[in-house]
Structure 1
Amino acid sequence: MGRSGAAVDMGLEYIRKKYNDTLDIKFTPGYAVSGPTEAGAAAAELYYKHNVDAFIGPGSSTSVEAMGHLVTQWNLPFITPAGGSGTLADKILYPTLTRMSPISVESYSYFILKMIDKYSWNHFVIFHSGSVSRLHWYSMDDILKANNDYSWSHYEIDQETFTTADYERILIDASKYARVFILYTNAPETREILLVAHRLGYSKGEYVMLVTKGLDRSIDESYWRYGDDNDEAAKNAYQSCLFFTGEAVSSAFAAFEQEVKERALRDYGFDYVGTNTSVHFLTASYYDSFVMFGQVLNETVAEGGDPRDGRAFAERLWNRTYPGVTGAYTINSEGARDSEVYMHDLDPATGAFKLVGRYIRAKDSLIIVDEIHWPGGGPPLDIPKCGFRNDRCLSSGKLGTVR
């Protein structure tokens, strides 16, 4: 509970204070679980031993999948601050589940494909690892398998075993097929790939890297600046990238973030500052989950409804817009949070990231909000003039007669 406990406490305090006259909310803390099996066992104990009326959490999509089958049988309300997995969109399997994830992996995939279509990039290569990027890769793979409009390939990388030579090998091989690289990697993996690409000359404008940023680092200078000898090269390398993230801070978030940091240290002994850890949007989703739950619970009780009827409760939750610490959000007809995805690039003058684009999944709308910095003066060509392997150009004086 170190990272999320403070947000949970704040959400509980809010709804207890706001609905003090009508609701008597009893909160049973859950358990720290390390996987789907433990999550299912914990849910069963909470249901049979503590007679809980609703579940909020956990923050792992695979654990939610395991719990979801049980909660469906019990027909109880179920809200997860996560739920980015496409599997959880199945309303036959999970009819009472509301997904609050600020990171819809499908939205990221469609945003990237919107950019690919915008610039007519029909050839691309995907790099993915088993880290934070796994669900993003699965989502894109599913979409592309149902679409024959693109020519693409992919490489799986392993940060634990890959050497600089391994990164160089796959980048050189990928350059034979595309100039657009999609990266589903964590922050250290991304930096290593981009540094190698920079040394290979791939950051001069002929290539573009489309990077899905996970929650492991904030979208600020710490994402590329590590305080080592490679910082200047990293700054140059990152200018050939566009970064896709769920982060777009609302005016309320700064105050929320500060309070979470103070409470986490005071009440849970977790030092956000000392560990250089960000209060990411998943933590805010815990708070928003409680606030939303309290509002709908109050309405249900006031109208004489059954708060334990998970399907009916879900119908009240969905197709509505709520205020949140990360900005207003909508729960759509499928029980998922319709959140925007944002695109940033690196300002070469300052080394800071700037917002250059937004994607609204509910409207399937791509909006460019600022000028994109292209190292080559414009977006890369889908296929270089001389081809991926320079086989379309013949050097002067090289053409001879074959005997």
Structure 2
Amino acid sequence: MQIPQTPVTLFLVGAVFTTYASTLDIALMEFALTGRNPVADQSAKAAWDKGEELLRTNYGSLLNVTGERFLPNPWEACYDTGSLALNWAARYYYRQTTGDPVLAMIGSDCPLPAKSLANFATEWNIPIMTTNSGDSGFYDKQRYPTLTRLSPYRAEDVSVVLYKILSNFGYNTVGILCDGTEGSDRSGMFPSAALAMSVCRSVSNTLRDIYNISASWYYIQGKDRQNTIDSLEEIKAVARVVIVIAQGNRIRPIMLAASDMQMTNGEYVYFAFEPFRHPVPSVGNITWYSKNDGRDAEARLAFRSLFKISTSSSYEDKPEYRNFTPALKQLIKEKYGDPYYNGFDLEVSPFTMAYYYALSIYGQTLNEMATSGSGENLHDGAAVSRLMWNRTYTILGQEIFINATGDRQSDWILSQPDINGNFQPVMEYSARRRWLQPSRDPLDNSIRQIVWPNNRSSPPLNEPLCGYRGTKCTSDGRDKGGNTFWDVSADVLQGTASRQQGSPIQHALNSTVNLIQQFSSVLNQYRDILHI
């Protein structure tokens, strides 16, 4: 445990204030609890430094902010830091603060300490701004009235986006692969197995309980190839849609295992999450390419069955953001010695940026309350938090939307590999509008078309015509109800047409259904005449 002996002092700046005789004391508790992830710990400290610099530059001397940073030992995992966080917070709250300062907490990434600290924040009525994404219980603002989540994505968002995508293609049965692999490098999309499993449970429960989608999930250790194969074999018996929640560098081995099992033949479709482009591409990003095993051609072909779901990163092209990140990388390198930014060509993690956004938003809110003349109580953490909610903030050119329940919401992109193996957007989801729409080519504004596995013109079926295990058909090719393949195909297409109400696609599908029904009728007459 590392607790600074000397408090860090910040000064918040702003307009000229003439109604206050003295500064207001603000005490911050900053928690960098990421679970055996020194990269994230060092990055968090640098983000706080830049946030404090922003406050000194923008808001003047009205608010005098002091506080402490709480950092775990590098060997402490996420699940080890829950009681530590409570001990640190209680000691600071009851023993180390002097006078009557306005209090707030920033952090943490790990689920258990985040929940523990949120309970303390509720009891003490102080704001807490966390970067944790995995606990859907944080949605309950009667229980957590002072909690604001600034994670670049939430487990609930993952479920909503998935539901929109699945329902768009007529899917209501899925298998979920949850990879809990933990290597020596803990800087991936899910900094700990605990966070990955938390997201898995949330997605599975939400799809099943709220959206009525049959979701079976399987815990795998992706480095164990046989374990992956066994889980895929089980999924074959219950689903044709596979959702993969894993570190980006685990997707390729999983897809190769699926290819070896003939599960990339066009009958299956896979959705994997890459919430953001990771600072270390070899750790977190999804790619078919690897120069080590000689299977790139197979992997590239297997990836034609894979879709990637990620948050929109259009803000990275904004001049403000592009000017800011090199300075942050410089600070990380020179002050905290993080080796991952030595090359200066790597992306900054959105989780790191969330700490900076937290200080920016909190400073703006306090400034508004202190200068409004309305007499609002800065000690009322619930009131401070509510003022931060249901608003859009523009920070470094990026729009940060905090919804009415205190959760940041991001837009999402559905991508698939093009003929060169490069992922291209094919659909976009707007969190505020809650709609899914096709992506457009930036060159000619044309709608990008989805290319289904094996160049099929339509999505793989939710369930094979003869069932997942092939038990719904008789030996003559009819299903158990006496229908032929063509009868069932007509039913499936008719259902698809009904979901395209009012679109040009509906007319084309209905015409196809009529042709299939006519062909099936003729075929059945000949079968009866020939007794086949």
> TM-score of the superposition, structure 1-length normalised?
0.88
Quick check: 69-78 or 240-249, which moved more?
Answer: 240-249
How far apart in 1 are the matches of 2:178 and 2:116?
25
Q: In structure 2, what is the equivalent of residue 13 of structure 1?
A: 53
1:303-341 alpha-carbon deviations (Å, 9 max, x no partner):
343322201111211111101347202211211112222
Choose the corresponding residue for 1:242, options 289, 307, 313.
Answer: 307
Greater RCO between the two (CA within 8 Å, min separation 6)? 1
For this pair of structures, how many residues does the alignment match?
A: 393
Q: Distance in 2 between matches of 1:25 and 1:231?
A: 54
- Tell me the equivalent position of 2:216: 153
Find out whether 1:308 has 2:379 as its counterpart.
yes
SS at match of 1:223: coil
- Partners of 2:275 and 2:466 in 1: how far apart? 35
Which among 326, 335, 358 is matched to residue 267 of structure 1? Answer: 335
Tell me the distance in 2 between the aligned counterparts of 1:379 and 1:220. Answer: 30
Q: 3-state SS of the aligned residue for 2:384?
A: helix
Counterpart of 2:338, as a letter, is F
1:379 and 2:442 aligned: no
* Cα distance between partner residues in 2 of 1:216 and 1:46: 36
TM-score (norm 2): 0.68
Q: Using the TM superposition, name which of 32-41 and 267-276 deviates more.
A: 267-276
Which residue number corresponds to residue 202 of structure 1? Answer: 263
Contact 2:208-2:215 within 8 A present in 1 as well: no
Distance (Å, rounded) in 2 between the aligned partners of 1:324 and 1:374: 38
Hey, what's the Cα distance between the residues in 2 that align with 1:299 and 1:97?
Answer: 19
* CA distance in 1: counterparts of 2:48 and 2:209, whole angstroms: 40
For the 8 Å contact 1:79–1:99, the answer to whether it is kept is yes
Q: Does 1:144 align with 2:180?
A: no
Q: 1:13 to 1:393 in 2, by over 3 A?
A: farther
Could you tell me which residue of structure 2 aligns to residue 121 of structure 1? 171
Determine helix, strand or coil for the equivalent of 1:242.
strand
Q: What's the CA shift for 1:173?
A: 2.8
Q: Distance in 1 between matches of 2:302 and 2:209?
A: 33
Counterpart in the other structure of 1:181: 242
Give the Cα separation in 2 of the matches to 1:92 and 1:201: 49
**1:385: how far off?**
3.7
- Give the superposition deviation at 1:194: 0.8
Residue 157 of structure 1, CA deviation? 1.1
**Pairing 1:65–2:130 present:** no
Q: Find the aligned partners of 2:280 and 2:60 in 1 and give their Cα distance.
A: 39
* Structure 1 residue identity aligned to 2:155: V
How far apart in 2 are the matches of 1:393 and 1:239? 32
Alignment counterpart, residue 415 of structure 2, candidates 344, 351, 355: 344
CA change 1:260–1:85 in 2 (3 A) is same
Distance change in 2, residues 1:204/1:256 (3 Å)? farther
The answer to whether the Cα contact below 8 Å between 1:183 and 1:209 also exists between their aligned partners in 2 is: yes
Which residue of 93, 111, 125 maps to 1:47?
A: 93
Question: Is the CA contact (8 Å cut-off) linking 1:341 and 1:360 kept in structure 2?
Answer: yes
Partner of 1:401: none
Shift of 1:257: 3.0
* 1:13 positional shift: 0.6
* Residue in structure 2 matching 1:334, options 395, 400, 405: 405
The residue that corresponds to 2:363 in the other structure is 294
Highest Rg: 1 or 2?
2
| SS of residue paired to 1:323 | strand
- Alpha carbons 2:428, 2:438 under 8 Å: kept: yes
SS at match of 2:398: coil
Quote how far apart the aligned CAs of 1:298 are.
0.7
Instruction: Give, in whole Å, the separation in 1 of the partners of 2:275 and 2:390.
Output: 28
Whether the 8 Å contact between 1:288 and 1:325 is mirrored in structure 2 is no
**In the alignment, is the contact (CA less than 8 A) between 1:187 and 1:216 conserved in 2?**
no
Matches of 2:277 and 2:398 in 1, distance apart?
Answer: 21
- Is residue 431 of structure 2 the alignment partner of residue 368 of structure 1? no
**2:292 corresponding residue in structure 1:** 228
Q: Deviations over 1:179-222 (max 9, x none)?
A: 11111222243222111012223223221101123569469785
Runs of 4+ aligned residues of structure 1 deviating over 4 Å after TM superposition are 218-222, 274-278
Task: Give the aligned partner of residue 20 of structure 2.
Answer: none
Deviation at residue 289 of structure 1 after TM alignment: 0.7
How far residue 72 of structure 1 moved from its aligned partner, in angstroms, is 1.4
Residues 1:191 and 2:252 aligned together: yes
Q: One-letter code of the match for 1:296?
A: T
SS of the counterpart of 2:166? helix
**Residue deviations 1:371-397 (CA, integer Å, cap 9, x gap):** 33322333212123444334437479x
**Kept in 2: contact 1:30–1:42 (CA 8 A):** yes
- Are residues 223 and 273 of structure 1, via their aligned partners in 2, closer, same or farther at CA, if it must alter by over 3 Å? farther
Percent identity between matched residues is: 27
Quote the residue 1:400 is aligned against: none
Q: Distance in 1 between matches of 2:281 and 2:474?
A: 42
Moved more, 72-81 or 140-149: 140-149
Counterpart CA distance in 1 for 2:397 and 2:214 is 37
d(CA) in 2 for partners of 1:88, 1:147? 17
Check the 8 A contact 1:320/1:332 in 2, yes or no: yes
Cα RMSD (Å):
2.6
CA distance in 2, matches of 1:183, 1:91: 30
CA distance in structure 2 between the aligned counterparts of 1:88 and 1:45, rounded to whole angstroms: 25
Q: 1:211 aligns with which of 272, 277, 284?
A: 272
Deviation digits for residues 41-76 of structure 1 (CA, Å, limit 9, x no counterpart): 121122234326211112223211011111212111
Say which is worse superposed, 44-53 or 99-108, in terms of deviation.
Answer: 44-53
